[in-house]
Structure 1
Amino acid sequence: MTKMFANKDKKIKEVEEESKQAKLQLNEIMKVMKTKLDLWTQLMSQMESQTEVGSGSGTGMGEAACRKVFLTSRTKCSIASSMILNETYASSGAKVIYSVASGLGHHWEPHRECRRRVTCILDCLEVANLTPKLQGSEIIQLDNIRTATMEDITSVHSRSYVSNLEKIMEELDASGEGILPFDSIGSTYVTTKTLQSSFVAAGAGLSVVDSVVAASKVSENPPIGFALIRPPGNHASPYKKVPMGSCVFNNIAIAARYTQRVHGLKRVFIIDTDVHHGNGTNDAFHDDPDVFFLSVHQDGLYPHNTGKVDDLGHGNGEGATLNLALPKLTGDVAMRNVFDEVIVPAAQKFKPDIILVSAGYDGHVLDPHGRFQLTTGGYYTLTSNIKQLAKDVCGGRCVFFLEGGSNLTTLANSVVESFRAFVGEPSAPPDFKYNFFLVEEPSLKVKEVIQKIKHLHSL
């Protein structure tokens, strides 16, 4: 017993020392970064002065034009400040950098897609000692996330789509109802704050991208990124007029366009592990040869009639869409085979600059909205494999985006397993109560799908 406490005290002292050294490094970096921030602050002040002069002068800019210039400069300043600070975090030797946007204003308690999805994850990370407080500099939570701009959103969705949402928010606010279900099956809803929460969620994802890319420029082993955000995004399609599948903006598609536009990372490899086909992301890049979309999902599940194996993309993008439509009861063994035989060779062939992951956890055996039978240990293995794949093909640049998962317990525990994989901790011991629900996997059917995919994509 004495030895156990001594080891625990030793570990605490080691973490405290690491944290102390990290803080010293950050202080030095912050001195340099403060100079950059001061320059941006001066720029914003100058633009504000121009606005005042222009609006009061008959020969200057008009008031509306000046306001537009000022707001644009303020937005750019905010984004630059966020990128500078996140670059500072990225230089600290972290193993995982994450952001949190729990969608406080987008909440409907009876609904499965509510803010408790994120708060439960945060609680479990705390219990598992996987927080910045307990892991020193290895785990960093971004406290300087930014809101997505209209340019970010309209890189995927039309301006009319956003305008339609704005109109719905206004009508909802005027009616005093507060909540508007969007479809007959109750999968999607909006509140008066949904649009605001969705801009924040998309921006939180971009903030993580900034940090991971910045870290990859100074380290051969950059941290993995995780955007713990909601509402999720993989069902939000640029071809739809309204949200669907609990999704408003397609966060990962917006991030893909952002990495291309802002960071010059042309080739993006997206892995969607949600049990439901990511139809929105599929639509967004269907004809784009520079974004490879790979979805592992249950065949025939919502949104129905999408994600078929023979959907390879079209036009210039033919071959850059890969849909692994797997049979129900697919589990950990099948997922490992799929990863080794399809995902790895597809990524090696595509040669991406970055990997983005639509991290759905609704393939768990106890999740009520799918018929896969993955376990928390299976998600640990999948995350570890993706982490290694990113190191092998794109310098370790990899960002996860939270998607589905409606059983709060298995969702939180599975995300915890992903974090364990990020920092290199062993997986938690298996929970044998899952064995009661596990049945034999359809290995022959899975093998048939794998062989067909390998033939169609020449893998």
Structure 2
Amino acid sequence: MLLMLGNALLLVRRGLCKWKNHTRFNFDVGSLRSTFFHKNLRSGSRCFATRRDLSISCSAGNDKDSYEPANEKLTNAKVIYAVAPAMGHNQESHPESHFRVPSIMNALEKMELTPKFRGSEIIELRDFKPALVDDIASVHTRNYVSGLEKAMDRASEQGIIFIEGSGPTYATANTFQDSLIAAGAGISLVNSVVEASKLSQEQPIGFALIRPPGHHAIPKGPMGFCVFGNVAIAARYAQHVHGLKRVFIIDFDVHHGNGTNDAFYEDPDIFFLSTHQDGSYPGTGKIDQLGRGDGEGTTLNLPLPGGSGDVAMRTVFDEVIVPCAQRFKPDIILVSAGYDAHVLDPLASLQFTTGTYYMLASNIQQLAKDLCRGRCVFFLEGGYNLGSLSYSVADSFRAFLGEPSLALEFDNPAILYEEPLTKVKRAIDMVKHLHTL
């Protein structure tokens, strides 16, 4: 039934694209103080959401120093995931809705891809601390963090406030704490995969099923549905806490990860590689944006023409992503996993399929095994058709487990059209020239 909706969903793209056609203002609001964060920083939080027959929990406690699974569990695991659905962060009818993570969890349950069905092969991290202010401030200005903290009082009074431009990025009374929990989930998964890499030759891969997303959030403020830069925060944490100096970030969201781009534009030790639809929000990520100063050459932006799909992305992976990663020699790979390039997604016009995401998951996992002892964590970014999002994430899990894709059960080839492969080749050749690949 999902795939029968394909043509109808394609017709509503233009109507929904208005959410990402906006301007923003500077949220650097100065040094503001509030007791909200200090009351909740160490106490942790617990959130529960029930949809149909599925109970989702994300826990953050204060009674443990270590929030990773026991070593004997890590040695058997193939996938470790953490859930932070941010159920209190929601605006009615907003495409980045609180149904996104529950929908994914429903699909994982339905396809028997949870610990209940897989035992020690799949681990859910249920206890993790929220990120600390110092973790967030490794990427974002303290003025922004304290300003958002202070804004929670106003959000509590008004129910919802807009923290960016004309309103696409909003906040409720729960947004600050939910965003700390999301970033903390990513940090905990970094801890787990790093520990696992010391114990076994068959390392598990991590997946942070979290929201709000993060890759648009710039150092000075929120942007494009994103509050804190979850991937960027995890990258700095991996460097500072685990001594993993060289971090390779792959962003395959349909929109350019401008926040991550900006955070590391002058950093030679973090390679940021983004594929995205040419001309899409936010209009950044041009092919000639390569980094600056010491970081020149460690930013690679590859805008793909509208209509690019599975063939284009397979070619990009083989001819661009693999040689870049091999040359950079990372200590860990982090992935901004946006599922909004799917042909059914309403906010863009690429033609990825469920099978494309299976391919990316499988190949990135193998790349991590080849280059950095399997250390790899995926972070949920975009994806606004609940069906294509959920089944694509589930098929990514199957890829991590080494099991065959079920994409043929979900994808409808009849709605695909010819890819602009001549334009794709031109873009690939240009980026290979600029980066001497």
For the aligned pair, the TM-score class normalised by the smaller chain equals 0.7 to 0.9
- Contact in 2 for aligned 1:90/1:214 (Cα 8 Å): no
CA shift for structure 1 position 193: 0.9
More helix by share: 1
CA shift for structure 1 position 377: 0.9
In structure 2, what residue type is equivalent to 1:286? Y
Partner of 1:345: 323
- Contact in 1 for aligned 2:308/2:419 (Cα 8 Å): yes
Is structure 2 residue 239 aligned with structure 1 residue 260?
yes
Q: Deviations over 1:309-349 (max 9, x none)?
A: 00000000000000011111010011000000000000000
More strand by share: 2
- Contact in 1 for aligned 2:71/2:199 (Cα 8 Å): no
- Contact in 2 for aligned 1:405/1:411 (Cα 8 Å): yes
Partner of 2:380: 402
Q: Structure 1 94/245 Cα, relative in aligned 2: closer, same or farther at 3 Å? A: same
Is structure 2 residue 249 aligned with structure 1 residue 249?
no
Summarize the alignment of residues 379-390 of structure 1 with structure 2, pairs less than 5 Å apart. 379-390=357-368
Compare 81-90 and 345-354 and name the one that shifted more: 81-90
Q: Deviations over 1:140-194 (max 9, x none)?
A: 00111111011101000111001111222212223xx201234566421110110
TM-score w.r.t. the length of structure 2 is 0.84
Q: Structure 1 350/416 Cα, relative in aligned 2: closer, same or farther at 3 Å? A: same
- Contact in 2 for aligned 1:82/1:146 (Cα 8 Å): no
Structure 2: gaps (5+ residues): 1-37, 45-59
Partner of 1:158: 141
Partner of 2:53: none
Is structure 2 residue 212 aligned with structure 1 residue 231?
yes
**Corresponding residue SS for 2:272:** strand
Structure 1: gaps (5+ residues): 1-68
- Contact in 2 for aligned 1:95/1:222 (Cα 8 Å): yes
Partner of 1:83: 66
Q: Deviations over 1:81-129 (max 9, x none)?
A: 3535435375341000000000022122311112210000000000101
In structure 1, what residue type is equivalent to 2:159? G
- Contact in 2 for aligned 1:90/1:212 (Cα 8 Å): no
Look at both structures and tell me which one has the larger radius of gyration over its CA atoms.
1
Among all aligned residue pairs of Structure 1 and Structure 2, give the percentage whose two residues are the same amino acid.
Answer: 61
**Corresponding residue SS for 1:232:** coil
Name the CA distance, whole Å, in 1 between partners of 2:307 and 2:41. 51
Name the CA distance, whole Å, in 2 between partners of 1:74 and 1:434. 48
In structure 1, what residue type is equivalent to 2:322? V
Partner of 2:11: none
Name the CA distance, whole Å, in 2 between partners of 1:419 and 1:337. 22
Partner of 1:392: 370
Partner of 2:254: 275
Partner of 1:198: 179
Name the CA distance, whole Å, in 1 between partners of 2:166 and 2:419. 30
Name the CA distance, whole Å, in 1 between partners of 2:170 and 2:42. 34
- Contact in 1 for aligned 2:154/2:161 (Cα 8 Å): no
Q: How many residues align?
A: 385
Name the CA distance, whole Å, in 2 between partners of 1:127 and 1:400. 21
Is structure 2 residue 413 aligned with structure 1 residue 435?
yes
CA shift for structure 1 position 303: 0.6
Is structure 2 residue 179 aligned with structure 1 residue 179?
no
Is structure 2 residue 202 aligned with structure 1 residue 221?
yes
Query: Whose RCO is larger (CA < 8 A, sep 6+)?
Result: 2
Is structure 2 residue 91 aligned with structure 1 residue 113?
no
